[in-house]
Each structure stands twice: as C-alpha cells, then as structure tokens.
Amino acid sequence: MQAFLIRRVLALIPTLIGATLLVFLIMRVVPGDITSMLSGAGPGEKIDPEELARLREELGIDRPLYVQYVTWLIGIPKGDLGDSLWNRMPVKGEIFHRFPITMQMAIMAATLGFLFGLPLGIVSALRRGTWIDLLSRLVSIMFLAAPTFWLGLLVLTFLRRTFNWIPPLGFNLLWENPGDNLAQLIFPALIIASHLMAIVARMSRSTMLEVLREDYIRTARAKGLPESTVIIRHVLKNSMIPVITIVSLSVGSLLAGAVVMERVFSIPGIGLYLLESITNRDYTAVQALVLIFAAIFVVINLLTDITYGWLDPRISRH
Amino acid sequence: MSTQTQTAIPEVAAPSKLSRYRRGALRFVAKNPLGAAGLFMVLLMVIIGVFVPFFQRYNPITPDYNHMLEGPSWTHFLGTDEFGRDLWSRVVGGTRVSLQVSFASVAIGSVLGLFLGIISGYFGGIVDDVLQRLVEIKLSLPGILLAIALMTAFGPGVDKVIIAIALSFVGRALRTMRGSVLSVKENVYIEAARAIGASNMRIMLRHILPNVMAPFLIVASSALGGAILQESTLSFLGLGVPPPTPSWGRMLSGSASQYAMSAPWMVIFPGVAITWLVLGFNLFGDALRDVWDPRLRGSQ
C-alpha cells in the first residue's frame, strides 16, 4: 500500500507540470500582454515603445519563454509562486488571503449537496415509482439543466425586489465576521449545492437500484432479516462506494461553480481572482492559480481512489 | 392437384421501411415518455432556430425608445429591454447560436475523442500510455477553466468558442470509447479478421467502429446539454459569442442584472430558454442511454 501511494503521488507531478505548461502556452500564444493594460493607454493612443520595452524587462516577460517557465517552475518547491504582473506582489500572498473564502463556500456547497442529495436518492430508490420518486427526479433534472449563474441572478433579483436586501459585499472571514460571512456565502453555496445535489441524488438512486437487484439482497431477505437491517447493513454500504467517485467528479463542478458564483455575487475569492487575472493577462497569477486548482483536483481524485480501494476489498486485494 | 386453380394465399405485404420506423418511434414514445418529451423540446427549439425570421415579430437589434423596459404584454410576449427591443425576438435570435455551437462543439469533440479512443484502445502500448497521460493532464483542469483560458487567448469569435468547448469533451469521450474498444477487442470476430489478413485500419473501421456506436451516441447526446451550459456561461462572463450575434448567456450579463429590479423579465426568460434546451437534451440523452445500454447507470 505504501509503495502504491508513493508511486501515485509521484505520478501526479508530471500531470501537474503538464497542466501548468499547457496553460502557460495557451496564455502566451497570442500577441499582446499585460503591458498594454498596465500602461493604461486608451484605445488608439500611441504608447511609447521604449516605455513598453522597459516595462517588459522589469516584469521579466521579455525573456525567452522556456526561461520564464522554468524559472517559475523551480521556484515552486521553494514555495515561491511568482510575483503578480499586475501589482508586483507575490501571488502567494493574494492566494492565501482569498483562499479561505472560496474553500469555505466550496465546503458549504459540498456538504449541503450531499446532505440533501444522498437522502433524496436513497428515498427515491426505496420508494421507486411513487410520487416521492417522481418529484425528486423532476427536481433533480431541473437543477441539472438550469445554469448556475442564472439561478444566482434570479436569487439576487428576488432578494432585492422582495426584501430590499442583498448579501453583504466585501471581504468577510468566518472567524472575524460570521454574520456577514454566512449571509454572503450561503446563497451561492446553496445554488452550487443544488446542482451537486441533483448529481448525487441521481447517482445514488441508480446505484441503489442496482444493488437492490443483487442476489445477496434477496438472500438476506430470504434469511428473514428485517428490511431495515437489509437496507442498512447491505444495501447502503454497497451503494455508497460508487458515490465516492462522484466526490471527485463534483470537485470540478464545485470549482467551476465557485468561479461563476463569485462573479455573480462579487465574492473576493480565488475564483474571481482567476477571472480577473485572465482578463488582465497576469500570467504569473494565472499559472499559480491553475496549479492550485489542478493540484486540488488531482489530490481529491487520489484520495477518492484510495478510499475506493480501501472500501472495496476486491480492489485492494490486487 | 388441379393445375388450373391457384390456391389463393393471402399475400401479406411486407411492412415498408417507413411504417417500421413509425412503429419503432411510437414504441420509443410509449416506453420513454420523458425522452420523447425531451426530443419534442429539442425539436421545438430546432424549428424556431431554423425559421428564426418567421418567429421574430420585431427586429432584435434596432432600438425602439418608445417602448423601453415594458413588461410582457400581448404586443411584446416577453417584454422589452432597456433599448425597447422585443425580448421574445431576441430570445428567438439566440436559438440559432446555441444550437450551432452545441451541435458543432459536441460533434467535433466527441468524434475526436472517438477516433483517439479507438486508436488508444486498439493499439495499446505506448500510444495508449501517451494518450492516457495527455487526457489526464487535460482532465486535471475543470472544463470551464480551460475554456475560459482558451477564450481569453484566442480572442472573440464563434468558431473559437466551438473549439474551446469541443476540447472539454474530448477527454471523457476518449476514455469512454477506449473502454468500449477494449471490450470489443476481445471478441472472436476481431481475431478472425486479423487471421484472414485484414489491415489494422480495416479492422478499426469495419469491425470496431460500428460496435462502439451505441456508447458513442450516448456520450455525445449527454454532452449536448453541457455544451449549451458552457456556451451560456462563457457568454455570461463575456468570453463567449461576441456581439452582434445574440446569445442567451450574454443577454443575462450586463444590463440584465442592472435593470433586474425594474425589469425582471430580462433576467427570467433567456434563462428559461437555456434551461428548456438543456433539459430537452438531457431527457433525450437519458432515454437513449436507457434504451441502448440499460446496464449503464441510468435514471430508470
């Protein structure tokens, strides 16, 4: 198990490097860089090319591409994620500053999503064909189809029109300002959660239905076990295993949802930071953020793979 | 045995192809009412998209300052925006782009994934390893992030949106197709084809491809809904289809939220259109999956 773990972790590194390299190349592909943004010139205004060249040299973006990439890359193990091209400050600082907000929103969304999704799926499978089942399936497919940013807009509009109130803006940490923080994050979290809930409900429903058809369930019932025992001891345990894999799937949609929701609700998290950096062509910030996002994604995948192998003895046996 | 009389055997006319299809279609509707509903929803949008000028009562672009921010009425079904433009006509206008972008991007992305997946699964070995590693790299970046980065790099343009969204499907399609190819490869007829000297190309095209069409169509149809959501999200963020081409996502950005207080219909209806189309695709895709592969996780 140890060797397996170590091998897997090492295999992550080339993947992460590949991901950052990919985004690095994408961002550099087109002419035009941050200098036009920084110099603040209006459209059509002539900027002194010497000024631009000096700026580029200061920022280090005039060096050959591979030099830029490698210098950045070797700084990472030292903990240096580069300096933002926008404000010359270490990107790390801004990321640490904003990270808790997005992380909190994501955790809230994931918790709510599973909290509502799992029972919904389970009940739906157990009461298949009844109105509960139909209702939950209807609700699920609705939330799957509705774009999250639209739901966000609807919620904001509704709040403003009906209660004359909007969630607080600005930077509110949970431990500094719990009231504002929760009021700010609960709505976007709920919306992201609704999408996730739909996925979880559908998945858990279908795996449960499959498990319910299995022979060993029939055996358990034939043995005379009470239905509740059958469900709890056999059905649930076996249906929840594939649900773990949804966790890894959902991280992707959580991250994407975070980016969009932070834009709609003006939340200063790393999702919004990514959007801003991309539009400002702040290469260093984008690279660092992509590294963070990809790392989170990849680590969660690894954790779910391990959990999967641990839970299903058949897998860990080989 | 008299040779003069022909025993009249009533000839039952062989059912024509058309009536066979019709019966198959009716069976589909009966067994999959939701899927049929989804198909109907999609077809409705397609009809609107094809006959856009017929459905547009007003010009969606020219302002009409006499009727700004009006609510839904008999003259303006969905109300007007801040320039007095009829919202119904604008939503109708966005249909074409949504359909074009979603079909094109899914077609490109899943077909690319299909062929790469077949190659990866069939040849195995180092080709497979390299492709798998590339897919892993790509999949470590959530689709929308990659699309955002690509759109910022490429610049505006419908074709670029299509490519950016297409790329987000290649990974999943590749993996699914590879899995199907791996199981199809085990069949005896593949070995037989090789034994009689069929070239790799021929085996792939003639034997493997037809047998992985079902999972392919399932993957492709499930991707359609996602494509629309991606396109509308990109447009909402300002990174999608550029003006003047109407786009539902872009209709929800900017002025919609600005005027949301006084004109909520501007926020409601384009989103309803998106949800409608995505819902239709999802329902239909689910039904396809249930019909063709009940083994796969479905809602049935």
Positive or negative torsion for Cα A209, A213, A216, A218: positive
Own/partner pairs for B43-49, CB < 8 Å, 24+ apart? B44/B280, B45/B95, B45/B98, B45/B99, B45/B276, B45/B277, B45/B280, B46/B99, B48/B92, B48/B95, B49/B95, B49/B96, B49/B98, B49/B99
Task: Please give the CATH topology (third level) of the domain spanning A97-281.
Answer: MetI-like fold (1.10.3720)
The pLDDT of A62-78, averaged and rounded, is: 76
Q: How high is the pLDDT of residue B5?
A: 58
Q: Measured between CB atoms, does B148 come within 8 Å of chain A?
A: yes
Most B CBs within 10 A among A36, A133, A150, hence the mutation to make, goes to A150
Nearest-CA residue of chain A relative to B281? A145
Q: Which residue has the tokens 């080989």?
A: A318
* Residues of B in Cβ contact (< 8 Å) with A298: 140
Is the complex ipTM more than 0.85?
Answer: no
Are B137 and A22 within 8 A, CB to CB?
yes
Res A2 pLDDT > 90? no
For residue B76, give its domain range: 33-58+70-297
Per-residue DSSP letter, A77: G
Of A26, A144, A203, the CB nearest to B282: A144
Residue A149, pLDDT score? 92
Q: Helix, strand or coil for residue A83?
A: strand
Number of domains in chain B: 1
Closest-CA residue in chain A for B278? A145
Interhelix angle B87-123/B33-50, rounded to 10 degrees, is: 120
B-chain CB neighbours of A290 within 8 Å are 141, 145, 149
A292-304 residue pLDDT tens: 888 888 888 778 7
Tokens of A85: 């091209």
**pLDDT of amino acid A134:** 86
Q: Answer yes or no: is pLDDT of A71 > 50.
A: yes
- Region of poorest pLDDT, from A38-42, A262-266, A271-275, B155-159: A38-42
Q: Can you give the residue ranges of every domain in chain A?
A: 97-281
| Percentage above 90 pLDDT, chain A | 15
Does residue B206 form part of some domain?
A: yes
With bands split at pLDDT 50, 70 and 90, how would you rate the model's confidence at A155? very high
| pLDDT value of position A150 | 93
B142: in domain: yes
- More confidently predicted of A70 and B248: B248
Whether residue A293 and residue B149 make contact (CB cut-off 8 A), yes or no, is no
Q: Which stretches of chain B drop beneath a pLDDT of 70?
A: 1-16, 293-300
- Smallest CA-to-CA distance from B218 within B167, B164, B169 is with B169
Kindly give the interhelix angle for A131-145 and A178-212, rounded to the nearest 10 degrees: 120
Q: What is the CATH number of the domain that holds B222?
A: 1.10.3720.10
- The backbone torsions φ and ψ at residue B86, rounded to the nearest 5 degrees and listed phi first, read -65, 125
CB atoms within 10 A of CB B121: 25
Give the closest-approach CA distance of A222 to chain B in angstroms: 25
**Which of B137, B145, B274 comes nearest A256 by C-beta?**
B145
Query: Do residues B19 and B26 lie in contact, with contact meaning Cβ atoms separated by under 8 Å?
Result: no
Considering only CB atoms, which chain A residues are within 8 Å of B294? none
Counted across chains A and B, CB pairs separated by less than 8 A come out at 143
Instruction: Decide if B46 is inside a domain.
Output: yes
Q: What is the pLDDT, as a whole number, of residue B9? A: 67
Q: How many residues does chain A have?
A: 318
Lowest pLDDT segment from A101-110, A229-238, B267-276: A229-238
B296 in reach of chain A (CB within 8 A): no
Q: How far is A109 from chain B (nearest CA, A)?
A: 17
Q: Which of B144, B149, B282 sits opposite A145 (nearest CB)?
A: B282
Q: Are B180 and B215 in contact (CB under 8 A)?
A: yes
Distances in Å between the alpha carbon of B13 and those of A214, B8, B24, B46?
Answer: 46, 14, 18, 36
- In-domain check, residue B4: no
Nearest CA to CA, how far is B253 from chain A (Å)? 9
Domain membership flag for residue B65: no
pLDDT tens digits, residue range A128-141?
A: 888 888 888 889 99
Residue B192 lies in a domain: yes
Which residues in chain A are contacts of B276 at CB distance < 8 A?
145
Residue A318: predicted pLDDT? 43
Residue B94 contacts A where some CB pair is shorter than 8 Å:
no
